[in-house]
Chain A
Amino acid sequence: MYVAVKGGEQAIANAHRLLADRRRGERDQAELDVAQIAGQLRLSVDRVMSEASLYDPELAALALKQASGDLIEAVFLLRAYRTTLPRLAVSEPLDTGSMRIERRISATYKDIPGGQILGPTYDYTHRLLDFLQLAEGEVPTPARAEEALEACPQILDLLNDEGLIEQERDDGSEPYDITRDPPDFPVDRATRLQMLARGDEGYLLALGYSTQRGYGRNHPFAGEIRLGQVDIEIHVEEWDEVICIGEIALSECQMVNQFGGSREAAPQFTRGYGLAFGHNERKTMAMALVDRALRAEELGESVTSPAQQAEFVLAHADNVESSGFVSHLKLPHYVDFQSELELLRRLRKAHEAQRSRAGDPQQKRENVSEEAKATERASKGVHHERL
């Protein structure tokens, strides 16, 4: 338990001044501009927006600058800012099928309407450090084809004439919102997806990987991955119309997994879904794997592995919550620790009494006198702290 402390204003102010100095770095180097971060470290920006659950590239870039590049600190800053804003609207559900495609691939079908579009990808790079980037080199403009892309429909909907793949249909149900009411386990899939969408990428990646290694295996294929711009539409009372207020970049992953079926329904491929702000492909793949793993119960699979246990997975996915609770251990716990010391002392006394009744008194007495000194030191610390 943490007990409030007072004092230390000057030291804290100086520590923050030192932090600002370290953030600025050597003064003979140009200071980083927020626009440079947004433009040149865009994958960091996208990850911060995704895990903060707030899309605003400029603010995410500012948060990254302020956090000296610490992603989780930046997520925290943006998430905190989010609480200062009123909610003005709820969007119409995104139509990712109408995405203006920048990248779109399928690992399940080779020939697809619209084609396989690699887009700006690190795939097929050799992962060799490019020392030319140590120098300032000119970067050529991207190649441009003569013709624009053909339409790129959602593959899993299009190539499913035989009904081999589970279809996703809207039954009109209103989704739960964890920003309004805390999740109450067990939670439905809408709630799970909201929690996974803001979940820590590294954590979801590890859990997704665990399913591939056999802990809740469901044999996934990347049915379709797409990246691009999608309109944001809201309904406005002023005109009683649905209007577009802008566009955002999105990554989406449709995972196709091994079979489900029942007495009534023939076996078919099942699905997992991943969606993230910006260019966040790895996150969407991990999210889709975990989404599918968490559907175990619904699909009649036995829940045997960590990635299939919703409460375990979801309650630990938010890195603002997890880093907050881990970090609070750094705050002064002097009083709490003092009470533990006293408890321990009593236990040891009782232990010693028991031992001495059984014989063997000598050794214990020495330990106790050492402990008394330690206690005295600790209690001085407490008094100093509580001034």
Chain B
Amino acid sequence: MTRPYRQRVLALTPCHHLESRWAALDIHEQHRCVRGPETGMAMVRGRMGGTGNAFNFGEITMTRASVALDDGTLGHGWVRGRDRRHAELIALVDACAQQAGLVRRIDDELIAPLQDALTTREAQASRTAAATRVDFFTLVRGE
């Protein structure tokens, strides 16, 4: 798994869920924050007509954090919103996943199940939307 792949899974997972799954791994690497966690904004860009030129659409709150493990390994995390703990956790997981001894467990026991949970959540939302799929009949006027 790549760092951006893990980052996406961790950012889309609700923080309390991530917190409990991470605790279950029982990995206790000492870390300190070297940047943030700090909250700011990202300007979101849209495209005219969905595919055309970019325009500045509006902003979202976001939080970022960078941590260093005791051996100096750096980890980074970014997340939409203002949850500083969430950003720090993502950075911590990212840093730990740079450790040869931990990466396998993190990918197999944390990222993969969280991705499965996201897939399940998406599928359920999709099936809920699918239940409202409609086929309108066009009536011929005057009959």
Q: Is the CB of A115 within 8 A of B49?
A: no
Given known contacts A236-B76, A246-B12, is B43 in contact with A271 (CB within 8 Å)? no
Stretch at the interface among B22-30, B102-110, B120-128: B120-128
Cβ–Cβ < 8 Å partners of B125 in chain A: 100, 102
Cβ–Cβ < 8 Å partners of B116 in chain A: none
Q: Is the CB of B132 within 8 A of A119?
A: yes
Interfacial residues of chain B within 63-94, with CB under 8 A of chain A in the complex: 64, 66, 76, 78-82
- A: contact size bracket: 35 or more
Cβ–Cβ < 8 Å partners of B139 in chain A: none
Which residue of A82, A175, A176, A193 contacts B41 across the interface (Cβ within 8 Å)? A82
B40 at the interface (CB under 8 A from A): yes
Given known contacts A100-B126, A173-B53, A193-B57, is B45 in contact with A94 (CB within 8 Å)? yes
Known contacts A86-B38, A142-B128, A168-B51; 4 further A-B pairs (Cβ under 8 A): A85-B39, A103-B132, A168-B53, A197-B57
Q: Is the CB of A149 within 8 A of B56?
A: no
Stretch at the interface among A49-57, A130-138, A210-218, A299-307: A49-57
Q: What is the bound-complex CA distance between A241 and B61, given in angstroms?
A: 20
Q: Is the CB of A116 within 8 A of B55?
A: no
| A244-272 vs B, Cβ < 8 Å mask (1 yes, 0 no) | 11111000101000000000000000010
B142 at the interface (CB under 8 A from A): no
Q: What is the bound-complex CA distance between A110 and B80, given in angstroms?
A: 37
Cβ–Cβ < 8 Å partners of A103 in chain B: 129, 132
Q: What is the bound-complex CA distance between A177 and B55, given in angstroms?
A: 8
A382 at the interface (CB under 8 A from B): no
Residue of B nearest to A176 (CB): B56
Q: Is the CB of B40 within 8 A of A86?
A: yes
Q: What is the bound-complex CA distance between A59 and B80, given in angstroms?
A: 13
B19 at the interface (CB under 8 A from A): no
Hey, which bits of chain B sit against chain A, CB under 8 A? 3-4, 7-8, 11-12, 38-62, 64, 66, 76, 78-82, 122-136, 138
Given known contacts A145-B127, A273-B50, is B41 in contact with A54 (CB within 8 Å)? yes
Q: Is the CB of A116 within 8 A of B40?
A: no
Q: Is the CB of A168 within 8 A of B58?
A: no
Hey, which bits of chain A sit against chain B, CB under 8 A? 50, 53-56, 58-59, 82, 85-94, 96-97, 100-103, 110, 115-120, 142-149, 154, 156-157, 167-179, 189-191, 193-194, 197-198, 231-232, 234, 236, 238-239, 241-248, 252, 254, 271, 273, 275, 277
Q: Is the CB of A100 within 8 A of B122?
A: yes
Q: What is the bound-complex CA distance between A309 and B67, given in angstroms?
A: 52
Interface centre among A55, A178, A234, A252 (most CB of B within 10 A): A55
Q: What is the bound-complex CA distance between A232 and B129, given in angstroms?
A: 22
Which residue of B38, B39, B66, B80 contacts A248 across the interface (Cβ within 8 Å)? B80
Q: What is the bound-complex CA distance between A175 and B8, given in angstroms?
A: 27
Q: What is the bound-complex CA distance between A248 and B8, given in angstroms?
A: 13
Q: Shortest distance in angstroms between A105's beta carbon and chain B's nearest beta carbon?
A: 8
Cβ–Cβ < 8 Å partners of B127 in chain A: 144-149
Q: Is the CB of A190 within 8 A of B61?
A: no
Which residue of A118, A154, A190 contacts B54 across the interface (Cβ within 8 Å)? A190
Q: Is the CB of B8 within 8 A of A244?
A: yes
Given known contacts A175-B55, A243-B78, is B135 in contact with A193 (CB within 8 Å)? no
Q: Is the CB of A116 within 8 A of B136?
A: yes
Q: Is the CB of B47 within 8 A of A168?
A: yes
Q: Sorted from nearest, which 10 A-B pairs have the closest CB atoms?
A: A246-B80, A168-B52, A168-B49, A145-B130, A148-B126, A88-B40, A190-B55, A244-B8, A143-B131, A55-B60
Q: Shortest distance in angstroms between B76's beta carbon and chain A's nearest beta carbon?
A: 5
Pull 21 A–B residue pairs with CB atoms less than 8 Å apart, ordered by A.
A54-B60, A56-B61, A88-B38, A90-B42, A91-B43, A96-B50, A117-B130, A144-B130, A145-B131, A147-B127, A168-B47, A173-B53, A175-B55, A177-B43, A179-B59, A193-B57, A194-B57, A242-B4, A244-B4, A271-B49, A277-B58
Q: Is the CB of B80 within 8 A of A232?
A: yes
Cβ–Cβ < 8 Å partners of A118 in chain B: 132-134
